């Protein structure tokens, strides 16, 4: 795929043109300034190809955000411009997945995947989640409503028909989806996060709307649980005025560390039977097929592992499973991802090969 051509084609899309016409003239100098800072974070290597598009898109997004209209407007415009029906691509396609992941360095083979049968036979977990509030910030009656709430589907396939329905559903999944394996039904931790007066929680500066970044309530068939945020933990940026912008990598690590409090820092959600916590940590990052793997030391470093893990979490970087706690993975800006061939230098995924990956980013 010719990436340049793709960008040009995208610029010529009616939706982009309409955004420019309707929203660009309303940009404030403030949004332009923040836009410039964000653009500084865009990879220089890719900048030449996408500068014009990115700057326009970032400014448009910021303008929307500053008006508290973010995706609401985007969606309204998308409904208007995108037509009423859409074809939903098949999520799991073995043929298309064959060359999606690039071969692993040193091994020269590509990672394998679930088969299509395994993928579609897996159990679906589908629950809405709700914000957790800092002490004194919970709206009146909120806690009582949650006690009596029934489980609600995060996504209701039967009600999704138009392109705008799918975009709105994607936005909700992005905002509400949790890390399912780390849910807690234990009354003690639920009480701690509801009261939010414990020393470790009062240290966390709440978001502008009073919510605690990184934590959610989920109502499941088993009852109410405390659960960590998923996508927004890493792909939500806090701006100088305390508001946030979804898409670029995290700028502060609050959500990540609150998630750690709930999940238990460092452990993969799928430890193998019999793994001690230390071995589970090692397995999260080990590269056993290379000599002198730097991760071998995880087995013997003891309490020094904690600070090493913490040091690998920062603005735009995260120690992602199967990445490295010593070489944390850069978090891509999802706003600028569409149309890219690879995600910066990591190049582990061929975005151009499988349209349902990078092109499914909500922007």
Interface residue list for ligand HEC (CB under 6 A): 174, 177, 230-231, 233-235, 318, 320, 329, 331-332, 334, 337, 343, 346, 348-349, 357-358, 361
Are 208 and 131 within 8 A, CB to CB? no
In angstroms, give the least distance from the CB of 363 to ligand HEC. 9
DSSP H helices in the chain: 3-11, 14-22, 29-40, 44-66, 70-82, 94-97, 116-121, 142-148, 163-176, 187-195, 199-202, 231-235, 254-263, 277-285, 305-311
Nearest distance from C-beta of residue 332 to ligand HEC, angstroms: 5
In sequence order, which residues have a C-beta less than 8 Å from that of residue 72 and are 6 or more positions away? none
Neighbours of 312 (CB within 10 A): 19
| Shortest CB 97 distance to ligand HEC, Å | 12
What's the token pair of residue 71?
């995706």
Instruction: Considering the complex, state which of residue 198 and residue 324 has its C-beta at the smaller distance from ligand HEC.
Output: 324
Which residues does 81 contact at the CB level (< 8 Å), separation at least 6?
14, 15, 18
Residue 320 CB, shortest distance to ligand HEC, in Å, is 5
Cross-strand pairs, 238: 244
Q: Which is nearer to ligand HEC, 226 or 233 (CB)?
A: 233
User: Measured from the CB atom, is 179 or 278 closer to ligand HEC?
Assistant: 179
How many C-beta atoms lie closer than 10 Å to residue 238's C-beta?
Answer: 19
- Nearer to ligand HEC by Cβ, of 238 and 329: the residue is 329
- Cα 98–chain centre separation: 24
Nearer to ligand HEC, 35 or 319 (CB): 319
Between 63 and 248, name the residue whose CB sits nearer to ligand HEC.
248
Kindly give, in sequence order, each residue whose CB lies less than 8 Å from that of residue 52, ignoring residues fewer than 6 positions away. Answer: 11
Pick the closer one to ligand HEC by CB: 174 or 193. 174
Sign of dihedral through CA atoms 71, 75, 77, 81? Answer: positive
Min separation Cβ 21 and ligand HEC, Å:
28
With beta carbons less than 8 A apart as the criterion, state whether 253 and 310 touch. no
**Residue 303 C-beta: closest distance to ligand HEC, Å:** 23
């Amino acid at each position: 795929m010719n990436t340049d051509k793709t960008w040009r084609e995208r610029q010529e899309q009616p939706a982009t043109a309409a955004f420019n016409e309707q929203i660009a003239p309303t940009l404030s100098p403030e949004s332009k300034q923040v836009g410039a800072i964000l653009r500084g974070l865009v990879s220089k290597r890719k900048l030449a190809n996408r500068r014009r598009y990115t700057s326009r898109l970032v400014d448009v997004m910021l303008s929307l955000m500053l008006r508290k209209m973010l995706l609401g407007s985007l969606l309204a415009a998308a409904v208007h411009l995108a037509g009423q029906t859409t074809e939903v691509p098949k999520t799991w396609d073995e043929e298309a997945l064959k060359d999606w992941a690039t071969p692993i360095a040193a091994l020269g083979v590509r990672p394998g995947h679930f088969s299509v049968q395994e993928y579609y036979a897996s159990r679906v977990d589908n629950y809405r989640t709700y914000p957790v509030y800092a002490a004194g910030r919970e709206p009146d009656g909120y806690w009582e409503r949650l006690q009596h709430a029934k489980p609600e589907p995060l996504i209701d396939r039967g009600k999704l028909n138009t392109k705008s329905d799918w975009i709105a559903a994607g936005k909700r999944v992005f905002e509400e989806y949790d890390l399912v394996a780390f849910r807690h039904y234990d009354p003690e931790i639920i009480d701690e996060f509801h009261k939010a007066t414990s020393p470790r929680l009062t240290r966390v500066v709440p978001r502008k709307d009073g919510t605690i970044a990184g934590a959610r309530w989920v109502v499941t068939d088993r009852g109410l649980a405390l659960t960590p945020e998923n996508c927004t933990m890493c792909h939500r940026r806090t701006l100088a005025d305390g508001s946030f912008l979804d898409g670029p990598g995290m700028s502060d690590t609050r959500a990540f560390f609150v998630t750690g409090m709930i999940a238990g820092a460092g452990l993969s959600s799928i430890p193998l039977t019999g793994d001690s916590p230390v071995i589970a940590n090692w397995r999260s990052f080990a590269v056993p097929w290379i000599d002198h793997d730097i991760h071998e030391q995880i087995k013997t470093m003891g309490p020094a592992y904690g600070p090493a893990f913490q040091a690998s979490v920062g603005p735009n970087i995260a120690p992602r499973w199967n990445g490295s706690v010593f070489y944390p993975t850069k978090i891509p800006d999802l706003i600028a991802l569409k149309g890219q061939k690879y995600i910066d230098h990591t190049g582990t995924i061929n975005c151009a090969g499988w349209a349902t990956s990078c092109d499914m980013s909500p922007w």
